[in-house]
Amino acid sequence: MSDHHAEGVGAHTASAEYIRIAVVLFALTAMEVLLYEACFGHLKASMPGLSTSLSPWFVQLLLVLSAFKFWLVAMFYMHLKFDLKVLQWLFGFSLVLATIVIMALFTLFTYNRTLWWWGGVPW
């Protein structure tokens, strides 16, 4: 039954592709850092216009960039793209659940702290 098994990684993706992905990953990380520097760090002073237009989107942009990085590693380095669908489901479902839980907890806590019933009268 060994013919069932996924063929080796090399069959799908050559070293060259790994290198290409590595380059993209670095570019993305560099963009993250640059984004931070542009919005809040050293570059802020030299390009104030860019800074003010980007900083409201800072968090969202960061999340998109890292999600993309995450996706690249998972799909190509972890080979999910070519592997069994079950594995994609398994990982995908856990990730979605994990994200929902983080978001829900975060919402519950910030929401609680801002609404009146947590107002807190000094005792």
Q: Report residue 14 as tokens.
A: 């050559």
d(CA 29, CA 25): 6
**The only residue of 33, 46, 48, 52 in contact with other proteins, by rule CB under 8 A:** 33
Q: Are 65 and 82 in contact (CB under 8 A)?
A: no
Residues with Cβ within 8 Å of 35's Cβ and at least 6 positions away in sequence, in order, are: 54, 58, 61, 62, 65
Taking the CA atoms of residue 28, residue 29, residue 32 and residue 34 in that order, the dihedral angle to the nearest 10 degrees is -100
User: In the complex with other proteins, which residue's Cβ is closer, 16 or 49?
Assistant: 16
Q: Shortest Cβ distance from residue 118 to other proteins (Å)?
A: 5
User: In the complex with other proteins, which residue's Cβ is closer, 2 or 49?
Assistant: 2
d(CA 81, CA 123): 58
Q: Report residue 12 as tokens.
A: 């799908």
Q: Report residue 108 as tokens.
A: 């519950």
Among residue numbers 45 through 104, which ones bind other proteins (CB under 8 A)?
55, 58-59, 62-63, 65-66, 69-70, 73-74, 77-78, 83-84, 86-87, 90-91, 93-95, 97-102
Q: Which residues bind other proteins (CB under 8 A)?
A: 1-2, 4-6, 8-10, 15, 18-19, 21-22, 25-26, 29, 32-33, 35-37, 39-41, 55, 58-59, 62-63, 65-66, 69-70, 73-74, 77-78, 83-84, 86-87, 90-91, 93-95, 97-102, 105-106, 108-109, 111-112, 115, 117-121, 123
